[in-house]
Each structure stands twice: as structure tokens, then as C-alpha cells.
């Protein structure tokens, strides 16, 4: 009991088994009821073999150590962020989703039409419903996308639309302004040349293969590089959402500021990707904004990357009150992320 099970820096001081039990129960009950947990209530719901006075004493200790708080003198206890953190890292037992639920989710995935955007939308819907939180899914971003086909389309004079289809079916498009007019035939010729040379190559390799490019070809190559460079913005609409309405019903979002902060984060296109730092395969739990996202002090996130590391990854997760069912959330996020990873490797790797 004294050995640390995790390698987290600044390990919290060890709690006695009974303190752990009490902390765990307070967290679980508070997550369910959304009301502060009194010593009496805790006693009535669980048989601990001790009196409420003892529980009070232990709660006082847990408060001293920073795991619990008091809204006011005559109220029950509420977990602090530190309390949730301890719960998530030490007390949560099995976060594996029950088999039945896994089956249900897998079944939905296999029923769906086979399109990435629909899958992402489905993933968001499943996360939202299963965790009762707001869910976010961003499209997988291919690291060095290989070209499948490109098309140059003349629209107005001097204005050309470049459409690129990448391996795996991702499509990107961008307009290009010409210095001097070119007709469609000339454009098609360039496109044909690029298609012949560039098939299955990434943008850099294609550029290397084109000796002595014309100004226009250079411009197209630049645009291709820009589209596939790692700094390039993911298209703004490539984030799929669900469950905002439901999570706004939670009591913590009665206060308008809290609700606004949540909506803000939820709507901001880059938010999820800004927050995710964990590699594919692990689930990241952000509790109470963790100092970095001030507004989200009463929100938690359970998020993960999915896909194939170093090749194509996206992010997904849920956003809800700190009073979140962490067990379910972690289990579901992990399971859905795994499913999505399978999809990515099926569709993008060939």
C-alpha cells in the first residue's frame, strides 16, 4: 500500500484504505446526485461499519489534505479537482466497458454506411449518449499524404480551383490566382503531368521529380506543399460534435458563465486539438481546466488521439462537468478511439 502504482511526479501522500474508500464513495455519490455528500448520507447508502462521527473525522482529514471541500459550514462534502484526480488515477477500478455495451457500439459501427465523415459523426453521437456529455471528434490528419489525383479547374479568368484527392480519400481544395490567363486545356495538361508523375507520392517527392517547372507549376507545387505541411490548418468544419444540448441541462451549467465557457470551448474549432497531448492508445483526463483553461474550471475532459501514430491521427473525446462519470467516460473514449483507429488503418493504409 505504500508503493506507488503510478509514475506521476509529486505523488500525493498515501491515504489509509478507509480514507480511500470514503473519498471514492464521496466522488461516486456526488457524481450521481450532484448534491454535497453528508456523513449521514454516506453512511446510509453504504455499510462501512463505523459511525457518522468517524466518517466526519476522516472527511475532515481528507479536507485538510485538499481532496474535499465544503460549500459552506453546514453542507456536505464535495470533491476538489485534486480529489477527482486521485479518484481517476488510484481508485477507479476497471474502466473496460461491459461486453454488452462494447457489442452495441461495435454493432452500430458496422451498420453504418462506410464513410469517414459519417463515422466521425457516429462516434460523436455514441460518445455523447454513452457518457451524457458533449462529444467532439476531429478528422484524422494524414502526416505526409500521398497524392491520388489532382484537378485544375478554371473558374473565372485568372482564377483556378485546385482539387486534390489524397490516398485514403481525403479531399482538399484551394483557389489559385493566375498572373496571366490560362485556358482549361493548358490547365488540364499540367494536371495530367502532375498526375502521371506524382501518383502515390507526397508533395515534396513530386516537387523533386519535376525539373525546371514553369511559374504556374511552381505555384501549384507551393500550394500542394502548403496543403500538406504539418502547419496547415485542418479545414474549419472538420470537427464533429454532439450532445451539447444534453450536457447544458446539467445543474452546474445553470450559471450562465459556466454555460458560456462550455459552449465557447465546444464551438472553437481548434479547441480539441489544442488540448490533446497524449499519444494514440492512451486516454487523457483533464480535470477542471487544469489551470491552463481558466474558463473551464468546472469542466472536465476525457480525450484521446486515434489513428496510426506518425501517419494519420485525429482526436476525440467528451467535455462535461467535473462531476463526470469518469469510469464510463474513460472506458467509452478508449473503446471508440480503438474502433476509429481500426478504421483509419483500414481506410488509409493499404
The footprint of DNA (CB under 7 A) covers: 36-41, 49-54, 56-57, 59-60, 63, 70-77
Q: Which is nearer to DNA, 71 or 235 (CB)?
A: 71
**Distance (Å, whole) CA 147 – CA 198:** 6
In the complex, what is the shortest distance from the CB of residue 66 to a copy of itself, in angstroms, rounded to a whole number? 32
Q: Which is nearer to a copy of itself, 88 or 150 (CB)?
A: 150
Q: Which is nearer to DNA, 54 or 205 (CB)?
A: 54
Q: Which is nearer to DNA, 38 or 133 (CB)?
A: 38
**Distance (Å, whole) CA 267 – CA 244:** 10
Pick what 4 binds: DNA, a copy of itself, none; C-beta below 5 to 8 Å, kind-dependent: none
R_g of the chain computed on alpha carbons: 26
Tell me which long-range contacts 222-228 makes (C-beta under 8 A, separation of at least 24): 223/162, 223/174, 223/176, 224/147, 224/150, 224/162, 224/164, 226/174, 227/164, 227/172, 227/174, 227/203, 228/144, 228/145, 228/202, 228/203
Q: Which is nearer to a copy of itself, 169 or 281 (CB)?
A: 169
Which grid coordinates are listed for 184? 482549361
Pick what 237 binds: a copy of itself, DNA, none; C-beta below 5 to 8 Å, kind-dependent: a copy of itself
In the complex, what is the shortest distance from the CB of residue 71 to DNA, in angstroms, rounded to a whole number? 7
Q: Which residues bind a copy of itself (CB under 8 A)?
A: 113-115, 117-118, 121, 148-149, 151, 153-156, 159, 161, 163, 165, 167-169, 171, 173-175, 177, 235-238, 240-241, 244-245, 248-249, 254, 256, 259-260, 263-264, 267, 346-347, 350
Pick what 59 binds: a copy of itself, DNA, none; C-beta below 5 to 8 Å, kind-dependent: DNA
**Distance (Å, whole) CA 43 – CA 196:** 75
In the complex, what is the shortest distance from the CB of residue 154 to a copy of itself, in angstroms, rounded to a whole number? 8
Pick what 244 binds: DNA, a copy of itself, none; C-beta below 5 to 8 Å, kind-dependent: a copy of itself
Pick what 49 binds: a copy of itself, DNA, none; C-beta below 5 to 8 Å, kind-dependent: DNA
Q: Which is nearer to a copy of itself, 75 or 192 (CB)?
A: 192
In the complex, what is the shortest distance from the CB of residue 127 to a copy of itself, in angstroms, rounded to a whole number? 15
Pick what 151 binds: DNA, a copy of itself, none; C-beta below 5 to 8 Å, kind-dependent: a copy of itself
Q: Which is nearer to DNA, 49 or 231 (CB)?
A: 49
Polymer length in residues for the chain: 350
Q: Which is nearer to DNA, 74 or 245 (CB)?
A: 74
Pick what 241 binds: DNA, a copy of itself, none; C-beta below 5 to 8 Å, kind-dependent: a copy of itself
In the complex, what is the shortest distance from the CB of residue 142 to DNA, in angstroms, rounded to a whole number? 52
Q: Enumerate the H helices of the chain as residue ranges.
A: 17-33, 39-45, 52-64, 81-86, 99-111, 116-131, 184-198, 203-209, 215-228, 244-248, 256-267, 271-275, 326-348
Query: Looking up cell 488540448, which residue turns up?
Result: 275
**Distance (Å, whole) CA 281 – CA 308:** 10
In the complex, what is the shortest distance from the CB of residue 180 to a copy of itself, in angstroms, rounded to a whole number? 18
DSSP state of 91: I
**147 burial via Cβ count (<10 Å: 0-12, 13-18, 19+):** buried
Nearest to 331 by CA among 285, 290, 272, 297: 285
**Distance (Å, whole) CA 272 – CA 311:** 19
**Distance (Å, whole) CA 7 – CA 227:** 40
Amino acid at each position: 500500500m505504500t508503493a506507488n502504482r503510478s509514475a506521476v511526479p509529486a505523488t500525493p501522500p498515501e491515504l489509509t484504505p478507509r480514507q480511500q474508500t470514503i473519498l471514492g464513495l464521496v466522488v461516486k455519490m456526488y457524481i450521481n446526485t450532484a448534491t454535497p455528500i453528508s456523513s449521514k448520507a454516506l453512511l446510509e447508502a453504504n455499510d462501512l461499519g463505523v459511525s457518522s462521527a468517524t466518517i466526519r473525522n476522516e472527511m475532515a482529514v481528507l479536507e485538510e489534505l485538499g481532496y474535499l471541500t465544503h460549500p459552506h459550514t453546514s453542507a456536505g462534502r464535495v470533491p476538489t479537482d485534486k480529489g477527482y484526480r486521485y479518484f481517476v488515477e488510484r481508485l477507479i477500478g476497471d474502466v473496460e466497458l461491459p461486453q454488452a455495451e462494447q457489442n452495441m457500439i461495435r454493432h452500430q459501427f458496422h451498420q453504418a454506411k462506410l464513410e469517414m465523415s459519417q463515422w466521425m459523426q457516429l462516434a460523436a453521437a455514441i460518445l455523447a449518449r454513452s457518457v451524457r456529455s458533449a462529444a467532439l471528434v476531429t478528422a484524422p490528419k494524414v502526416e505526409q499524404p500521398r497524392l491520388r489525383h489532382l484537378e485544375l479547374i478554371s473558374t473565372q479568368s485568372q482564377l483556378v480551383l485546385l482539387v486534390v484527392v489524397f490516398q485514403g480519400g481525403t479531399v482538399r481544395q484551394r483557389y489559385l490566382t493566375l498572373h496571366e490567363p490560362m485556358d482549361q486545356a493548358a490547365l488540364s495538361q499540367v494536371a495530367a503531368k502532375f498526375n502521371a508523375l506524382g501518383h502515390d507520392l507526397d508533395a515534396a517527392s513530386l516537387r523533386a521529380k519535376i525539373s525546371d517547372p514553369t511559374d504556374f507549376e511552381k505555384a501549384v507545387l507551393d500550394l500542394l506543399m502548403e496543403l500538406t505541411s504539418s502547419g496547415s490548418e485542418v479545414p474549419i468544419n472538420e470537427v464533429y460534435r454532439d450532445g451539447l444540448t444534453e450536457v447544458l441541462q446539467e445543474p452546474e451549467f445553470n450559471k450562465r458563465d459556466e454555460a458560456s465557457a462550455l459552449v465557447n470551448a465546444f464551438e472553437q474549432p481548434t479547441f480539441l486539438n489544442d488540448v490533446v497531448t497524449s499519444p494514440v492508445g492512451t486516454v487523457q483526463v483533464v480535470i477542471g481546466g487544469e489551470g491552463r483553461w481558466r474558463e473551464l474550471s468546472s469542466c472536465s475532459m476525457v480525450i484521446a488521439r486515434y489513428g496510426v501514430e506518425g501517419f494519420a491521427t485525429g482526436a476525440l473525446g467528451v467535455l462535461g462537468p467535473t462531476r463526470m462519470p469518469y469510469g464510463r467516460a474513460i472506458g467509452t473514449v478508449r473503446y471508440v478511439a480503438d474502433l476509429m483507429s481500426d478504421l483509419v488503418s483500414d481506410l488509409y493504409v493499404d
